[in-house]
């Protein structure tokens, strides 16, 4: 049943659990350092190349103390090709759960504990940016198959979930936001409600433009001349 949130919303949220999934890994240390300056025990959850970047930023003992891979957290390895890894109930429960909702707290603590390593968590910050669909499809030699495999699924899904739940989650969608976000985070010792809403506004616009670009690209392709030549068909 769809219904409005009836539980108290926190103004300032001190980051404890941060989910990171980015294509463009530039500048991540700006946010990582700011989070740890506010809460040295904060934990980062990520996977693949993003995870390797986070671990390199943390270094040494901090990797053990402040990092957990998404695969370990969920108990679900990725499908070949880097697929599915973040499309998991334990990830999306942490992005969509309402704070101060007893049923959601029980769901995270008990139901999600049956999956992976430990109970579920409220994600306080989601840092994500998407595959560069427009850039890739504009390059010489790109075809319909290039476009298809560069449709990001997990990134937009997590971004939309975090933006929908801006009551509880700060959604950071571009390296261009990192400096101001980090400055505000350290100044306020957390992320306040007004900033979470402003970030959600940007995220929702971004997702709308991203999906429009994909629809426009595929909506103008010819099946016989542009689709069939790009794929290997079973005989």
28 is a domain residue: yes
Phi, psi (5° rounding) for residue 68?
-140, 135
Instruction: Judge whether 2 lies within some domain.
Output: no
- Which residues make beta-bridge pairs with 68? 45
**Mind listing the pLDDT tens digit for each residue in 51-79?**
999 999 999 999 999 999 999 999 998 88
Whether 221 is covered by a domain: the verdict is: no
Number of domains the chain contains: 1
pTM: 0.95
Closest CA to 178 of 6, 3, 27, 2: 27
Q: Does any domain span residue 3?
A: no
Reported as a single tens digit per residue, the pLDDT across 20-44 is 999 999 999 999 999 999 999 999 9
SS3 66: helix
227 within domain boundaries: no
Instruction: For residue 38, give the CATH number of its domain.
Output: 3.40.50.1380
> Which distant-in-sequence residues (6+ apart) come within 8 Å of 25 by Cβ?
49, 50, 53
Asked whether residue 197 is assigned to any structural domain, the reply reads yes
- Please give the helix or strand (H or E) that residue 138 lies within, else none: helix 133-138
193-203: average pLDDT: 98
Q: Which residue has the tokens 């992005």?
A: 95
- Is residue 4 in some structural domain? no
CA distances to 99, 112, 114, 120, 182 from 94, in Å: 10, 10, 15, 7, 22
pLDDT at 42: 98
What 8-state DSSP symbol labels residue 35?
H
Residue 106: its H or E element: helix 102-106
What is the model's pLDDT at position 78?
85
Per residue, the 3-state secondary structure of 110-131, as one string, reads: HHHHHCCCCCCCCCCEEEECCC
Where in the sequence is the domain holding 58, given as residue range(s)?
Answer: 17-132+153-211
Q: For the chain, how big is the Rg over CA atoms in Å? A: 19
Please say whether the dihedral angle defined by the alpha carbons of residues 73, 74, 77 and 78, taken in this order, is positive or negative.
negative
């Amino acid at each position: 049943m769809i219904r409005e949130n009836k539980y108290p919303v926190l103004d300032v949220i001190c980051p404890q659990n941060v989910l990171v999934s980015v294509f463009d890994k530039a500048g991540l240390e700006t946010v990582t350092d700011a989070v740890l300056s506010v809460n040295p025990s904060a934990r980062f959850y990520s996977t693949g190349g993003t995870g390797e970047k986070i671990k390199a930023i943390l270094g040494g003992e901090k990797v053990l103390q402040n990092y957990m891979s998404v695969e370990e957290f969920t108990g679900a390895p990725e499908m070949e090709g880097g697929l599915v890894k973040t499309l998991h109930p334990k990830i999306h429960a942490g992005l969509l759960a309402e704070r101060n909702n007893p049923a959601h707290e029980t769901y995270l603590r008990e139901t999600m504990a049956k999956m992976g390593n430990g109970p579920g968590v409220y994600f306080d910050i989601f840092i994500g940016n998407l595959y560069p669909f427009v850039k890739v499809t504009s390059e010489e030699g790109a075809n319909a198959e290039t476009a298809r495999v560069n449709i990001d699924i997990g990134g937009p899904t997590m971004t939309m979930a975090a933006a929908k739940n801006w009551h509880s989650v700060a959604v950071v969608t571009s390296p261009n936001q990192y400096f101001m976000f980090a400055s505000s985070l350290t100044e306020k010792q957390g992320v306040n409600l007004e900033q979470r809403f402003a970030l959600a506004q940007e995220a929702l616009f971004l997702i709308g433009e991203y999906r429009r670009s994909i629809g426009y690209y595929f909506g103008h392709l010819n099946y016989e001349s542009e689709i069939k030549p790009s794929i290997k068909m079973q005989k």
